[in-house]
Amino acid sequence: MTPAEKRELLHKDRERVWHPFTQMKDYAERDHLLIEKAEGLYLYDADGNRYYDTVSSWWVNVHGHGHPRIKQAIARQLEDTDHIMFSGFTHRPAIELADKLIEIAPPGLGKVFYSDNGSTAVEVALKMSFQYWQHVGRPGKTKFAFLEHSYHGDTLGAVSVGGVDLYHATFRPLLFDAYRVTAPRISRWENGSPTPEAAEHGVAEALEAVKRLFESSADEIAGFIIEPMVQAAGGILIHPAAYVAGVRELCTRYEVHLIADEVAVGFGRTGTMFACEHAGITPDLLILSKGLTAGIMPLAATLCTDRIYEAFYDDYETMKTFFHGHSFTGNPLACAVALESLRLFEEERVLEHVRTISEALRGQLPRFEPFRHLGNIRQLGMIAAFDLVQDTETGKAFPSSERRGYHVYLEALKEGLILRPLGDTIYYWLPHCTSEEQLHDIVDRTCAVLERLGYR
């Protein structure tokens, strides 16, 4: 790309494109990073600079960019079908993918409903749960419960069960009513990760809050939606498996659907194929996207139990049909990519590698402990995070106007790192293909960034 082409593209970007989760005025005098190539763990900009994709391109990438097997799967599928409607028609990739997902999912899930992104898959789960109770003679069960700090997407139903005010408060007049439940408080700060001395108390307290809600209101609650083990957009908040197991038991006891949103944490991100496996539980509905296609193409799936499916299975005249669908439901190209990704998981023993790198990451995290204003260092699988705070004993935050995390992001770009923060939370969300050598280099560079910004 010539300098003139780059200037023209960036001018058009500034004039025509509205980027997601972005205050565009931040880019009035600064360009977006123009990426020209992606390969493996790296992104390359138009000037040839290389960056570690330490956030997996927004938590989606699994096997690295440009994996030859993934590209070949797309090319093969293009020889047969690119896209067909999925109502009244079907095709091999969607059938084989559904069969494989049921095989590897927590036991007890029996049906797969496709959509095209995480938010739509959440909408599918909410509507399925609601309509199920209508069909089985429990019409009063019309509400949902969700955890504070939770994030389930940006469509209005998903926002209605979201607990991050920064993203959701503006739209409150448009949302349906839902029950907001206290999340586990399991560190010495209000939010954070499990610590041995606090975990048991935090779990017991949080489960008691769920129990109180169900005792008073289960007759009107259709489902309880959670992000198992890690609340991602809420600040990389990690929960003990005992909490997830306890929620499953309470949902069963009080006849409330457990809806597990594994859009971000599924497909090996936490060290197991699905985060629910840490707790040994099966949800009533399981929501998948992002890593489903190795982060290459848009596709989502909502898995449900046969019991839920059978409540819809009837003569057409009963009007029990699930009237929901999307234009690109079950896209053959995306399904073919997802199948190839799952083959790679098996043939390249990806989960074994994830466990190895997760342990290596755990060994690297103590390197952040000597830094000033860094606290609540935490990790699960390929996910790790720490917070920039005024006081590491109390967790007192810096004024948001200082934008500490944003300045780390800008400085990290100079170091060849993409460290997109969540407020003042700095995190890794590493692709599964990360090597130990690359991991050490990433941590070296992160430490260099923190030193230059005066945190040593």
Q: Which residues are annotated as a binding site for pyridoxal 5'-phosphate?
A: 118-119, 261, 326-327
Binding residues for substrate are 58, 151, 290, 325, 420
- What does the alpha-carbon distance between residue 236 and residue 234 come to, in Å, rounded to a whole number? 6
- What does the alpha-carbon distance between residue 132 and residue 444 come to, in Å, rounded to a whole number? 52
DSSP codes, 398-432:
PPGGG-HHHHHHHHHHHTTB----BTTEEEEE--T
- What does the alpha-carbon distance between residue 454 and residue 456 come to, in Å, rounded to a whole number? 6
Asked if 180 contacts 173 with a C-beta cutoff of 8 angstroms, the reply is no
Category of 69 on φ-ψ map: left (φ > 0), alpha (ψ -120 to 50) or beta:
alpha
Least Cα distance to 137 among 315, 305, 320, 286 occurs for 320
Amino acid at site 149: H
DSSP codes, 9-36:
HHHHHHHH---TT--GGGGSSSPPP-EE
Parallel/antiparallel/unpaired status of strands 143-147 and 179-181: parallel
- What does the alpha-carbon distance between residue 242 and residue 220 come to, in Å, rounded to a whole number? 26
- What does the alpha-carbon distance between residue 99 and residue 300 come to, in Å, rounded to a whole number? 15
**In 254-403, alpha helices (H):** 306-310, 332-347, 350-364
- What does the alpha-carbon distance between residue 326 and residue 120 come to, in Å, rounded to a whole number? 9
Binding residues are 58, 118-119, 151, 261, 290, 325-327, 420
- What does the alpha-carbon distance between residue 205 and residue 192 come to, in Å, rounded to a whole number? 15
**In 301-372, alpha helices (H):** 306-310, 332-347, 350-364
